[in-house]
Amino acid sequence: MYDPASAIKGKQAVFEAHPENAAVKALADLATDAKFDRAELTITVARESIVSAAKAVQQAGYNFLEDVTAVDWYPSEPRFQISYSILSHKLKERLRLVVRLDGEDASLDSITSVWPSANFYEREVFDLFGVHFGGHPNLRRIMMPEDWKGHPLRKDYPVEGYR
């Protein structure tokens, strides 16, 4: 069974345990927090530095953006956790970039300039969580109708809907 004590938590500890990791090297300046848990590396960056972090890991060899999604930690703050799953075809490694956002001001920069595939993923997060991506070329709802009220995957959105 899984032992929570086996996880390495904190930026300092992770960066000491995995000094040779390409993502760790690339994000040495930008990371605010890090975690190595269940053989998965998670690095948290500040909202302002997401585009530069994406560029840095892309140059470090993580060439493929698999997914962008969000977790709503309502009612705690910071409320939203945006998770970017990034893969390296060459290194055969995966990295999870995380940005934490407050519920009051849930917005950050779009990384469509780094990976065009972020287009659909970010639209999905915008649609279902109501997180705004600045600089996105076409930030419209993708799954719900245009005139839909609310964002269904938020935790304070009832399962049965408002009406």
Partner 1 sequence: MTPPVEELTGVAAIDPGIDDLIANSARNRQNPPSKDQTMIINMGPQHPSTHGVLRLVIEVDGETIVGLAPDIGYLHTGIEKTCEAKFYQQVVPMTDRIDYLCPMTNNLAYCLAVEKLLGLEIPERAQYLRVLFNELTRIQSHLVWLGTHAMDIGALTVFLYCFREREDLLRIFEAVAGQRMMTSYVRVGGLSLEPPRDIYDKIRTFLKNFPAHVEEYEGLLQTNPIWMNRLKGVGYLSAADAIALGVTGPPLRASGVDFDVRRDMPYSGYEKFQFNVPVSDVGDVWARYIVRMQEFRESVKICLQALDGLPEGHIVADAPKIILPNREQMKTQMESLIHHFKIVTEGFGVPAGEATSSVEAPHGMMNYYVVSDGTAKPYRVHMRNPGFATLQALETMCKGRLLADVVAVIGSIDIVLGEIDR
The answer to whether residues 133 and 139 touch, using CB atoms and an 8 Å cutoff, is: yes
Residue 32 · residue 45 · CB < 8 Å: yes
Task: Work out whether 153 is an interface residue with partner 1 (CB under 8 A).
Answer: yes
Q: Are 96 and 40 in contact (CB under 8 A)?
A: yes
The verdict on 75 binding partner 1 (CB under 8 A) reads no
Burial label, 156 (beta-carbon count in 10 A; 0-12, 13-18, 19+): exposed
- Mark the segment that binds partner 1 (CB under 8 A) among 15-23, 26-34, 36-44, 103-111: 36-44
Q: Residue 3, interface with partner 1 (CB under 8 A)?
A: yes
List, in sequence order, the alpha helices (H) in the chain: 11-17, 22-26, 50-59, 118-129
Q: Does the protein bind partner 1 through residue 149 (CB under 8 A)?
A: no
Report the nearest approach of partner 1 to the CB of residue 85 (Å): 6
Tell which one of 4, 20, 75, 162 touches partner 1 (CB under 8 A).
Answer: 4
Q: Which of 32, 52, 63, 113 binds partner 1 (CB under 8 A)?
A: 63
Residue 149: Cβ within 10 Å count: 9
**Site residues (vs partner 1, CB under 8 A):** 1-4, 7, 37-38, 40, 42, 63-67, 69, 71-72, 83, 85, 89, 92, 94, 96, 115-117, 119-121, 124, 128, 141-145, 152-153, 157, 159
